Structure 1
């Protein structure tokens, strides 16, 4: 039951994140007050989100190639999940890394689309 709730929460959060970005993209160049439509991140936030997304993407690729991933959570720090010994926990951590990469990448995409509108 716990994995079902975990994956459902990831999907619902991803769906909400997607709709927030789409709502910002549907807005015009300026909002109701006449001010420029802000992106999901400012300049420093954009650089930080891009850097963290690249780091997590590398970390995820490394986990896929090596077949082992350290636990991502706080409660299991220092624990190493391998594909052979515990495939459920391994794929849960890899999926969480993928979700973080996609969420941060989408934030960067929406912000850049808003900034470079014609």
Structure 2
């Protein structure tokens, strides 16, 4: 039950993230107060998000190819989950990596799209 709640909450958070980005893209160049519409992140955050997303994408692809993923928490630092021995934990970490890569990639996409509107 705990896992089901975790996955449902992650999917709801992803949906809210998507809707927020779509609302930003629908806005014009200026909001109702006359301020310029900003993206999710600024220039430094854009670069940091892009680098972090690329690093996590590499970790995700490596996990899928090798069939093992390092634990992504404080309590299990250094532990490696393999698909054969720890399938549940493996897929939970792969799901988290996928969600994080998609969320960061979407933030970079929305910011880039807002900066270069025609």
TM-score by length of 1: 0.97
For residue 99 of structure 2, what is the aligned residue in structure 1?
A: 99
Alignment partners' CA distance in 2, 1:98 and 1:25: 23
Q: How does 1:1-118 map to 2 (within 5 A)?
A: 1-118=1-118
Once the 2 structures are TM-superposed, how far is the Cα of residue 36 of structure 1 from its aligned partner?
A: 1.2
**Is 26-35 or 58-67 further displaced after alignment?**
26-35
Q: Which runs of 4+ in 1 moved over 3 A?
A: none
Structure 1 SS opposite 2:109: helix
> Where do 5+ consecutive residues of structure 2 fail to align?
none
Can you list the C-alpha shifts for 1:20-52, whole angstroms capped at 9, x where unaligned?
Answer: 101111111111122210000000000000000
Once the 2 structures are TM-superposed, how far is the Cα of residue 95 of structure 1 from its aligned partner?
A: 0.6
Alignment partners' CA distance in 2, 1:113 and 1:34: 20
Structure 2 SS opposite 1:81: strand
Alignment partners' CA distance in 2, 1:43 and 1:108: 10
Once the 2 structures are TM-superposed, how far is the Cα of residue 84 of structure 1 from its aligned partner?
A: 0.3
Structural RMSD (CA): 0.7
Once the 2 structures are TM-superposed, how far is the Cα of residue 79 of structure 1 from its aligned partner?
A: 1.2
**Number of residue pairs aligned between Structure 1 and Structure 2:** 118
